[in-house]
Chains A and B, each alone.
Chain A
Amino acid sequence: MDLHLSKEQEMLRKMYRDFAENEVKPLAEWVDENEAFPEETVKKMAKLGMMGIYFPKEYGGAGADVLSYVMAVEEMSKVCGTTGVIISAHTSLCCAPIYENGTEEQKMKYLPKLCSGEWIGAFGLTEPGAGTDAQGQQTTAVKDENGNWVLNGSKIFITNAGYANVFVIFAITGITTDKRGRKKKEISAFIVERTDPGFSVGKHEKKMGIKGSSTCELIMEDCTIPADRLLGKQGKGFGIAMKTLDGGRIGIASQALGLAEGAIEETIKYTKERVQFGKRISQFQNTQFQLADMHAKTEAAKWLVYSAAMKKQNHEPYTMDAAMAKLVAAETASDVTRRCVQLFGGYGYTREYPVERMMRDAKITEIYEGTSEVQRMVISANLGVN
């Protein structure tokens, strides 16, 4: 197993870091304070190929690999959790399912515009009555006499929704009966465009963290789309959703990883400057041990995240790897950012320093794209413990 980054990956890391430091970090506080979606930053990232990092060039991607994408989310999240999740949701939850399940026509129609950042992508699975439990879906899609699909229902907590042009949406297309005679909802995936008739973006959520990421409700009232918007085969939506979330979890794990690393960096800097009882607080053993623990945990999480990315790249099964990476990275991020705030003391609780924002941003990583509890279910199921 090669644990070294390639020359290209080293260069990418340097470029991401430069970009994050100069373009993303200066805006992070403003993005949070004003719940502002950093549109200009997204345009700049798109110009550098960061909105389609691991897709082939023929679809407008940058032709790099999954690990290179992971590092981008990580480096952006080090300074701004919002910016990290924008790339992650766009890439993992919209570009990826289209790339992996789309017809050639669908790929040629959507991927170049998504990868170039002309269009932003989002993913609609969660509903008021159905979170991770995809069987609780209520949104329906019915074929009309012209062969078009007509969608009805609503989706909630959709990342990037306010700014997205393309949505991968899941809906019930029928009821099937399994071998044991139980009725099951048949779910299919669709590509919906923002301008499709009957489609609208609803309420914007006010959140604890990642405040600049646009999280909204999607409403479909007789939303009519042509037959060729079906993504993958009819009835295969549940599998597509689960596979997409496997990939998405690597993205969120990278975001969590970045948040933890960013908080540690800020804390190291601060503890070297801040003096208490005549000593820099970095000179206290508590500070040293806390930071040592935090760094060790974060590095452990990093290898889980990177190895999940490499498995995905190599087309090896990675469902459990992604779940483990997300579980460990998210819990590490929450723990580390909370401890960093503690080391900052009173200043850590103020908005003068970024660690309080990082702590708020970190919490969501334990919740979205499968809570930590769901990750544990996935891992234990893969262990055959049931």
Chain B
Amino acid sequence: MAFNSSDTAAFKGVWVFCEQREGVIMSTSYQLLSEGRKLANDLGVELCGVVLGKDIKEDYLKALGGYGADKVYYCNHELLDVYTTDAYTKVICDLVEDKKPEIFLIGATNIGRDLGPRCAARLHTGLTADCTHLDVDVAKYKEFLKTTSTIDVDNTVFEENTNLKMTRPAFGGHLMATIICPRFRPQMSTVRPGVMQTQPYDEAGAAKTVIENVDVKLDKSDIHVEVLEVKKAAKKLVDLIGADVVVSVGRGISKDVEGGIKLAEELASVLGGVVGSSRACVDAGWIGADHQVGQTGKTVHPRIYVALGISGAIQHLAGMQDSECIIAVNKNESAPIFDVASYGIVGDLYKVTPMLIEAIRAAKAAK
């Protein structure tokens, strides 16, 4: 019988696309498996990892069980070594059409965001991009809303169903939307790397997991692109947008530009982040334009934003005020940056920053 994405009852199980590059499974896959496990438990179904590649080490496949996969579909083929849209889409769609999972999660990497929409279009189903939260259970969804929304949850009617509720930010986080795909299966979702928590590795799970080798039907003629080269960048430009933590410097470093930037770099490395800057520093030639945060630079919403010696001109605030936690250090107590800061310290950045580095280092070491 032909594949019919609207025959929702025929679909069962939660799948996670476990992306590999150069034979190594990406950590996003573990995060997604951890999340997928919860969904599978709520639904009482199997969690499966899907791996496409060439001669992937069995240990790596088994390890997926350690993060919750009951089963791993392993598609081994020479033409799956390096990602191509055509090959991956074909193999995955063939497998979905055959096995019919109800939920399919993909990491929102540059590759996942290429693959996901193409597969969804071919399978005739919905896809929700860059989800930050997933639920199937309405009660759990309501609990989630209680802490993250302004909705009066107890006095709001929620339709009871086990559709996947895919929550994602819209308009740079000014709004949140929960999306469902009620009429078609699989319910597909991409999830930003780093958003979901990885659960502790479980040896027993790894031992238990079943690896199923998939009979891959793939031919060179299926692929319409030719990958000439895969290259790692020598010097990476700062990835401000993708950064989890941004430590930015402003005009306040004029006293000692090099020293100020060095402090920011050190703090960024302790926090696992990158260095940003206000426009003033870029205009002054103190730092490269790829570091600029603000209206004419990049708009960021990292988990932590540290502003060192930034007064907080509107154009800068526009680029960072949606950061989850903003820590500002500035000499001038009336600096507008303090209006948006979660925590503010009025003081000399050259004195405060080294202490901050020290204290965070100590706190991390204690963990």
Touching chains A and B, CB distance < 8 Å: yes
By the criterion CB–CB under 8 Å, are B283 and A275 in contact? no
Residues of A within 8 A of B296 (CB): 22
B43 at the interface (CB under 8 A from A): no
Residues of B within 8 A of A26 (CB): 283
Residues of B within 8 A of A22 (CB): 296
User: Closest CB of chain A to B297's CB: distance in Å?
Assistant: 12
Highest count of chain A CB atoms <10 Å: which of B296, B311, B314, B334: B334
A196 at the interface (CB under 8 A from B): no
A273 at the interface (CB under 8 A from B): yes
| B-contacting residues, A271-286, CB 8 Å | 273, 275
Residues of B within 8 A of A273 (CB): 311, 313-314, 336
User: Closest CB of chain B to A8's CB: distance in Å?
Assistant: 27
Majority secondary structure of chain B interface residues (helix, strand, loop or mixed): loop
| A-contacting residues, B286-339, CB 8 Å | 296, 311, 313-314, 334, 336
Q: Mark B144-165, 1 if CB is under 8 A from A, else 0.
A: 0000000000000000000000
User: Closest CB of chain A to B253's CB: distance in Å?
Assistant: 15
| C-alpha spacing A273/B337, complex, angstroms | 11
User: Closest CB of chain B to A283's CB: distance in Å?
Assistant: 13
| C-alpha spacing A273/B313, complex, angstroms | 8
Closest to B280 in A: A352
| C-alpha spacing A150/B259, complex, angstroms | 64
Q: Mark B22-46, 1 if CB is under 8 A from A, else 0.
A: 0000000000000000000000000
| C-alpha spacing A275/B337, complex, angstroms | 13
| C-alpha spacing A273/B311, complex, angstroms | 9
| A-contacting residues, B227-248, CB 8 Å | none
| C-alpha spacing A275/B311, complex, angstroms | 12
User: Closest CB of chain A to B338's CB: distance in Å?
Assistant: 11
Residues of B within 8 A of A275 (CB): 334
Q: Mark A129-153, 1 if CB is under 8 A from B, else 0.
A: 0000000000000000000000000
Q: Mark A271-303, 1 if CB is under 8 A from B, else 0.
A: 001010000000000000000000000000000
Residues of A within 8 A of B314 (CB): 269, 273
| B-contacting residues, A1-18, CB 8 Å | none
User: Closest CB of chain B to A352's CB: distance in Å?
Assistant: 9
Closest to A273 in B: B336
Closest to A352 in B: B251
User: Closest CB of chain A to B239's CB: distance in Å?
Assistant: 24
| C-alpha spacing A73/B283, complex, angstroms | 24
| C-alpha spacing A22/B313, complex, angstroms | 18
Q: Mark A25-64, 1 if CB is under 8 A from B, else 0.
A: 0100000000000000000000000000000000000000
User: Closest CB of chain A to B81's CB: distance in Å?
Assistant: 44
Closest to B313 in A: A273
User: Closest CB of chain A to B318's CB: distance in Å?
Assistant: 13
| C-alpha spacing A275/B336, complex, angstroms | 10
User: Closest CB of chain B to A80's CB: distance in Å?
Assistant: 14
Closest to B336 in A: A273
Residues of A within 8 A of B336 (CB): 273
Residues of B within 8 A of A269 (CB): 314
| C-alpha spacing A275/B334, complex, angstroms | 7
User: Closest CB of chain B to A73's CB: distance in Å?
Assistant: 24
Closest to A26 in B: B283
| C-alpha spacing A349/B313, complex, angstroms | 20
| C-alpha spacing A273/B334, complex, angstroms | 9
User: Closest CB of chain A to B51's CB: distance in Å?
Assistant: 47
| C-alpha spacing A35/B314, complex, angstroms | 31
Residues of A within 8 A of B311 (CB): 273
User: Closest CB of chain A to B348's CB: distance in Å?
Assistant: 20
| C-alpha spacing A329/B178, complex, angstroms | 56
Residues of A within 8 A of B283 (CB): 26
Closest to A30 in B: B283
| C-alpha spacing A275/B296, complex, angstroms | 25
Residues of A within 8 A of B334 (CB): 275
User: Closest CB of chain A to B289's CB: distance in Å?
Assistant: 11
| C-alpha spacing A26/B283, complex, angstroms | 7
User: Closest CB of chain B to A347's CB: distance in Å?
Assistant: 12
Q: Mark B108-146, 1 if CB is under 8 A from A, else 0.
A: 000000000000000000000000000000000000000
User: Closest CB of chain A to B332's CB: distance in Å?
Assistant: 9
Q: Mark A244-278, 1 if CB is under 8 A from B, else 0.
A: 00000000000000000000000001000101000
User: Closest CB of chain B to A168's CB: distance in Å?
Assistant: 38
| C-alpha spacing A81/B314, complex, angstroms | 25
| C-alpha spacing A322/B311, complex, angstroms | 44
User: Closest CB of chain A to B11's CB: distance in Å?
Assistant: 50
| A-contacting residues, B209-223, CB 8 Å | none
8 inter-chain pairs at a CB distance below 8 angstroms, sorted by A residue, are A22-B296, A26-B283, A269-B314, A273-B311, A273-B313, A273-B314, A273-B336, A275-B334
- Which B residues are closer than 8 A to A by beta carbons? 283, 296, 311, 313-314, 334, 336
Q: Nearest 3 A-B pairs (CB), nearest first?
A: A275-B334, A273-B336, A26-B283
Q: Besides the contacts A273-B314, A275-B334, what 6 more A-B pairs have beta carbons closer than 8 Å?
A: A22-B296, A26-B283, A269-B314, A273-B311, A273-B313, A273-B336
